[in-house]
Amino acid sequence: MNRQKIFFVLFASILAWTAANGKTAAQEPEILICTQCAVENVTANKYCINCGDPLAEELSRWQSERQARERQLKRFISDRVDPPRLFTVPAARVLGSMDVRVMGGGAFGVATDRSFLGTVGIGLGDIAEVEFSTVGMVTNISRGSTVFPTSAFKLMLIPENRYHIPTLAIAFRNSANWQDVQSDRKVLEAQRDLVADGIRNIGYGTRFTTMHGVTTLRLWSLSIHLGLSLTDVRVRDLTVESDYYGVYEAPEEKQKNLVGGFFGFDIEQNPQTKLMFEIQTVSNFQYNVESREIDVSEAWLAIGGVRFFFNRWLSTDVGVWYQSTFKGIADLQIKLGLNLFLPGGSLGDKVWKMSNKSDIPNS
Ligand SMILES: [Zn+2]
């Protein structure tokens, strides 16, 4: 796939650029260098191990340097733009007003197709967010997950506050239109019950709307995200071509409601890195040979990994993806995403601050 190559080239060049230019928040070694003899001492030493000179001055300089470093790290955390979601599940926060987020990524596995996922989101008035993205759905007739274009709207009901009241948001997501799903020949040939029925091709149209409520509870460096979702799935225009019974058509629309949910958490590991884990239910479309229908049920999908911030406006999400329809760990996929922010609103604030207070260091 060409898009994959483009993405990898983009990803590799950004990594290279960041490695060449980026300053990381690396920890300084905990040593004092004696001004008399230049020998390295541990910070617990009151006198130099080599010349016996008192190290009080060196210690106070080291402490003030450390405080400056800590202030810089705090500023890095408070200024960085953290996507208001984990890998795929939403958090109860929204993007800053007028901030635009562009996310590109994909899942990379050995056996399955590589579905490309992209997202564009914009924050509105610090309480709402609109998003256009592609999401994957699980089927047994095509490889990997089928990718749907969707649009979503998230509204924050209880904003982030200092009283430790959990943040609360509701969100709607629906597929832009009827989406055509066509079977993959190799996938069909790998399934015994479909081969036994002489099935050569399966196709159908589907669309869905999901409504969910999500709450985020912050406990120091740990954030817990919990959500409930109601999904209305429609399937129509089922066409099955079989060597044994010819073409079978079921044009009527079928509807199914699925109640699901998700749970996830993230932990601030250091100013540049967050550990993230999520588990959620997803719609699972399986063609049933007996009833000649598409059975829509729920499968679960889990992703665990890290979010690494290259700088305040660029971060990457890397995780390992597993879902209940996988047969074993050989089906594990690596999920890779790149989050880029175009700070519309917050950039304006910064420019204003910089022009009014010239003493803000631009580190
Ligand atoms: Zn010394």
Return the pLDDT at 105. Answer: 74
CA of 281 to the centre of ligand 1 (A): 63
Residue 240 backbone dihedrals phi, psi, to 5 degrees: -125, 125
What confidence category does residue 51 fall into, taking pLDDT thresholds of 50, 70 and 90?
very high
Contacts of 324 (CB under 8 A, 6+ apart): 299, 300, 301
Q: What percent of the chain has pLDDT over 90?
A: 38
Report DSSP state, residue 165.
Answer: P
Give the DSSP H or E segment for 73.
helix 56-79
Return the pLDDT at 361. Answer: 46
121: β partners? 101, 131
DSSP 22-41: PPP-PPPP-EEE-TTT--EE
Q: Which of 185-189, 222-226, 255-259 has the lowest mean pLDDT?
A: 185-189
- Statement: residue 25 has pLDDT above 50: no
| Contact of 49 with 39, CB cutoff 8 Å | yes
Helix, strand, coil share of the chain (percent; to 5): 20, 50, 30
CA of 54 to the centre of ligand 1 (A): 8
CA of 36 to the centre of ligand 1 (A): 5
CA of 47 to the centre of ligand 1 (A): 8
| Contact of 66 with 43, CB cutoff 8 Å | no
Strand, coil or helix: 79: helix
Return the pLDDT at 237. Answer: 93
Domains belonging to the chain, first-starting first, are 2-75 (no CATH), 86-352 (2.40.160.40)
Residue position matching structure tokens 């890095």: 76
259: β partners? 230
* 334/111 Cα distance (integer angstroms): 12
Residue position matching structure tokens 């996988």: 326
What confidence category does residue 363 fall into, taking pLDDT thresholds of 50, 70 and 90?
very low
* Residues with C-beta atoms within 5 A of ion ligand 1: 34, 36-37, 39, 48, 50-51, 53
DSSP 333-352: EEEEEEEEEE-SHHHHHHHH
CA of 40 to the centre of ligand 1 (A): 8
Q: Which two tokens stand for residue 70?
A: 């800590």
* 263/280 Cα distance (integer angstroms): 6
CA of 26 to the centre of ligand 1 (A): 27
CA of 31 to the centre of ligand 1 (A): 13
* 258/262 Cα distance (integer angstroms): 13
Other Cβ atoms less than 10 A from the Cβ of 137: the count is 22
CA of 41 to the centre of ligand 1 (A): 8
CA of 59 to the centre of ligand 1 (A): 13
Residue position matching structure tokens 């199914």: 256
Residue position matching structure tokens 């594990």: 332
Q: What confidence tens digit (pLDDT) does each residue in 157-188 have?
A: 998 887 878 999 999 999 878 988 888 888 88
* 85/320 Cα distance (integer angstroms): 17
Q: Looking at residues 233-239, what average pLDDT do you find?
A: 94
CA of 25 to the centre of ligand 1 (A): 29
* 141/313 Cα distance (integer angstroms): 39
Q: Looking at residues 53-82, what average pLDDT do you find?
A: 86
CA of 216 to the centre of ligand 1 (A): 53
Q: Which of 12-21, 42-51, 115-124, 167-176 has the lowest mean pLDDT?
A: 12-21
* 148/142 Cα distance (integer angstroms): 13
Residue position matching structure tokens 């190559």: 5
CA of 46 to the centre of ligand 1 (A): 11
Q: What confidence tens digit (pLDDT) does each residue in 122-163 have?
A: 999 889 999 998 777 788 887 666 677 889 999 999 988 878
